[in-house]
Structure 1
């Protein structure tokens, strides 16, 4: 079997798929990429047994169909240093030898039998279906990943929750200290349904969705989901269990409103955070009309910092503490120029929203306060 393709195309596809493969797999064949040539198209598959990712593209030339598995490290090292040029694969399916010829040389190595590669288990026909714009899905996943937990006792908190209702699709992530809720108003369903996407497939999707502008189709059932995009798909196992009622933890009446330039606040946080206690990362906010004062202190090393930032504030004078690292993550995962913080008192969660919501989205982030020692 002989086929020809571009070295840069192959390298780009392999680099994305390689993130699926585990460094140490107990199943030897899962250290390989599965190559399948059919009707002039090449499909390449990578798997870690829980996640299966496949990409398909047109070959420049091919003379017959066939399939084989290639050790991932071998093929990745072979093509990543090559400048863009045609690669000619000559594969003997019988004795599993592979020869790759390029402009100034060639590689020879042994393939694995494709029949040893696990078969792809498709999602059942009665699955729920979501069709969503790739940019909306990319934005929702990107701004949610940082808020997922690493909790062995509550595995449902370790993923991103997709809650499909008759009104919208809500994407939620929380670790108990911070929460992200993105409502996508352009997506809804007659029958409510939900699933929890683990962190690894969410990260794999994030890397793909940033390069495509087409609609994404998500089919999901109780235990698995299939996400189809422009030139391939991802099938993954879902986290089973019941996600907590996220709406119940979002305060409905935080009357004190702070409007501030997001980048100015990020800059101030960057400057005062190094002077905070390394263990607590406590940043104290003193807020009154037109001014936000940020202070940090580390008693053990006798360090402290203070900075004032201009703001708009409608509310009573308040002192409230936040974990600086968590607040910094929230601010860097928002895009708007200005943000609004809705506050009630020093013991209740603060709600942060972009001053201007993106089209077809409603974004809210929540951060729990830290106790202040007056």
Structure 2
């Protein structure tokens, strides 16, 4: 294998590929990135056996071939090369070394046999559709904060992506919950997604997917089967196994009859919660909300550190209410609001609270109260 490639294109491709590599590996080959050169492009493939990323970059290939090299070391070398450098990669297949040259710098990196590198088996996908990057970004960005980190409830360790009915029409929906808070986000159903099986996209795949969705003009091809999901652009393909489990019936925990309505400026509310929570060393400390006519008092009482209180002018016309929430959960939910106003719907101090963005019902959040 022999090729030359611009440092910027190489760095971009290697950075995206190596991010899926686990830093602690019991299988040496999984620490490597597979480099495949053919025609006028080079492919970088990395996997942790659950996720596989394949990134393409344009290159001048003199001799086709392939090699595997430590992903982290290779990325660090490329990152430290000077801007604008032309990088030459050579592997004669006999020395067990990949030679990296740029200007006056040269490196000889240890390689492992290409045939040892595990390539994720191709899957027959039940459904394939195309969606704009901003639509997928919104679905996953607004739901991922509620993913559970509890390994015993593994079926909550991802975002449940499925087709659902909303007000008499079908939508593409993402849901995540950890039992304390829940996010349910809807988008227009893309053409071709109607028969898509519901799948739980793992937390790590959701994080990696975010790197594909930066370009607002990009269209993403999504392919879904019962066991895998694939997101593809012309440059990069991300394939992930889905979580083998049944996502719970989340509709049962979304309250329907909450009638006490609070409307508040979302950014003012988030900043006020952040300020009063400062006196507590534990971010999980309950923030108490005291609601009266057009008035909200946020307070924290931390006996070991002190207490704090802040008053906000709000739109509230129902009977008085005192309710407590985990400060971290309130901040995370408030930070999802893109519109000016956040609307909270309460029932009582012991029941789940519903939150949405103004009158928009396509993004709905539920948070469980705490005893204060």
* TM-score scaled by length of structure 1: 0.92
Q: Which residue of 2 aligns with 1:55?
A: 55
Q: Report the aligned-residue RMSD.
A: 1.9
1:119 CA displacement: 2.4
1:218 CA displacement: 1.9
Q: Are 1:276 and 1:283, in contact at CA under 8 Å, matched by a contact in 2?
A: no
Indicate yes or no: 2:139 matched with 1:140.
Answer: yes
Tell me, in whole angstroms, the C-alpha distance in 2 between the residues paired with 1:218 and 1:36: 24
Q: Which residue of 2 aligns with 1:155?
A: 154
1:340-370 CA distance string (max 9 Å, x none): 111111111111111164xxx8111111111
Tell me, in whole angstroms, the C-alpha distance in 2 between the residues paired with 1:279 and 1:111: 46
| 1:243 pairs with one of 243, 247, 259 | 247
Q: Which residue of 2 aligns with 1:354?
A: 357
1:302 CA displacement: 5.8
Please give the residue correspondences for 1:1-374 in structure 2 after superposition, counting only pairs within 5 Å. 1-59=1-59, 61-84=60-83, 85-125=85-125, 127-165=126-164, 167-187=170-190, 189-191=193-195, 193-211=197-215, 213-276=217-280, 278=282, 280-299=284-303, 301=304, 303-355=306-358, 357=360, 362-372=362-372
Q: Are 1:280 and 1:323, in contact at CA under 8 Å, matched by a contact in 2?
A: yes
Q: Are 2:284 and 2:328, in contact at CA under 8 Å, matched by a contact in 1?
A: no
Q: Are 1:165 and 1:191, in contact at CA under 8 Å, matched by a contact in 2?
A: no
Tell me, in whole angstroms, the C-alpha distance in 1 between the residues paired with 2:156 and 2:73: 37
1:103-162 CA distance string (max 9 Å, x none): 23222223222111112311215x222422111111221222221112233211111101
Deviating above 4 A after TM superposition, structure 1's stretches of 4 or more consecutive aligned residues are none
> Cα 1:192–1:128, aligned 2, differ >3 Å: closer, same or farther?
closer
1:33 CA displacement: 0.7
Q: Are 2:196 and 2:224, in contact at CA under 8 Å, matched by a contact in 1?
A: no
Tell me, in whole angstroms, the C-alpha distance in 1 between the residues paired with 2:116 and 2:247: 37
Q: Secondary structure at the match of 2:99?
A: strand
Gaps of 5+ in 1: none
**Number of aligned residue pairs:** 366
1:277 CA displacement: 7.1
Q: Are 1:158 and 1:198, in contact at CA under 8 Å, matched by a contact in 2?
A: yes
Tell me, in whole angstroms, the C-alpha distance in 1 between the residues paired with 2:210 and 2:326: 27
1:192 CA displacement: 5.7
> Which deviates further from its counterpart, 35-44 or 221-230?
221-230
Q: Secondary structure at the match of 1:70?
A: strand
Q: Secondary structure at the match of 1:193?
A: coil
1:198 CA displacement: 0.7
Q: Are 1:173 and 1:179, in contact at CA under 8 Å, matched by a contact in 2?
A: yes
> Which deviates further from its counterpart, 11-20 or 285-294?
11-20
Q: Secondary structure at the match of 2:261?
A: strand
Tell me, in whole angstroms, the C-alpha distance in 1 between the residues paired with 2:317 and 2:113: 68
Q: Secondary structure at the match of 1:243?
A: coil
> Cα 1:16–1:187, aligned 2, differ >3 Å: closer, same or farther?
same
Gaps of 5+ in 2: none
Q: Are 2:163 and 2:194, in contact at CA under 8 Å, matched by a contact in 1?
A: no
Tell me, in whole angstroms, the C-alpha distance in 1 between the residues paired with 2:359 and 2:101: 54
Tell me, in whole angstroms, the C-alpha distance in 1 between the residues paired with 2:326 and 2:365: 14
Q: Secondary structure at the match of 1:160?
A: strand
1:215-254 CA distance string (max 9 Å, x none): 2122222222222123121111111111111111111121
Q: Are 1:165 and 1:190, in contact at CA under 8 Å, matched by a contact in 2?
A: no
> Cα 1:296–1:104, aligned 2, differ >3 Å: closer, same or farther?
same
Tell me, in whole angstroms, the C-alpha distance in 2 between the residues paired with 1:318 and 1:69: 62
Tell me, in whole angstroms, the C-alpha distance in 1 between the residues paired with 2:211 and 2:317: 41
Q: Secondary structure at the match of 1:230?
A: coil
